[in-house]
A and B are shown apart, each in its own frame.
Chain A
């Protein structure tokens, strides 16, 4: 069975702090996709990244970076120098290559205070 665990329900930081959101997954598939989405107060889910299971290179996009560790089944997301606009609920998700079983974590609510 596929499962995504985001153990941090809520995180609160002060602006300019770095923050890491944890994501641990379980799957029996040897190939799969991992995702991160941002859901701001407006409600719309914003796609941030999709990573193939056979590509373990870490990725950096501006203040965002992702650390994919297949050995520990983790796909953590770090925001550097956080800003108030980063306040949102962040979801990690996992899908098989044929997308027959797309699973989301429960989400982590991040609050960045000025």
Chain B
């Protein structure tokens, strides 16, 4: 596989569920990112990892918990989400800390 892949592509969960989003990149990039895209709001950068170290957390609620076990994989663990967390969650990677240049297809999350 090439590029940035995300699983699952669609996820429906209740507010008491725990689920995880997975992102994988096969581009040899050292930086990975989580973004949130809601209707009627600009794309929001959530987390940045550079060489597996978290370098940015944009005041994201603790019900979102990222994990980066290695430079090719990035997870977003979700628990006790709210309906307003329903959005498209996009993962991206880049070779240097200069913006996520390669985006995955996203996970469309619906919280009931």
Contacts and interface: CB of A to CB of B under 8 A. Distances in A.
Contacts of B31: 99
Interface string A72-109: 00000000000000000001010101111111111100
Given A43-B106, A45-B103, A100 B56 contact: yes
Interface of A: 4, 33, 35, 37, 42-47, 50, 91, 93, 95, 97-107
A4 to B, nearest CB: 8
Given A98-B97, A99-B48, A102-B45, A44 B55 contact: no
Contact of A42 (B55, B90, B105): B105
Given A104-B42, A107-B42, A47 B101 contact: yes
B83 interface: no
Nearest to B108: A43
Contacts of A104: 42-44
Interface residues of B, number: 23
Given A99-B48, A103-B42, 14 more contacts: A4-B42, A33-B99, A42-B105, A43-B88, A45-B92, A93-B99, A98-B97, A99-B97, A99-B98, A100-B55, A101-B45, A102-B45, A104-B42, A107-B42
Contacts of A101: 45
- Looking at chain B's contact residues, the main secondary structure is strand
A107 to B, nearest CB: 7
13 contacts: A35-B101, A43-B105, A44-B104, A45-B90, A47-B101, A47-B102, A47-B103, A50-B99, A91-B43, A93-B99, A97-B97, A100-B55, A104-B44
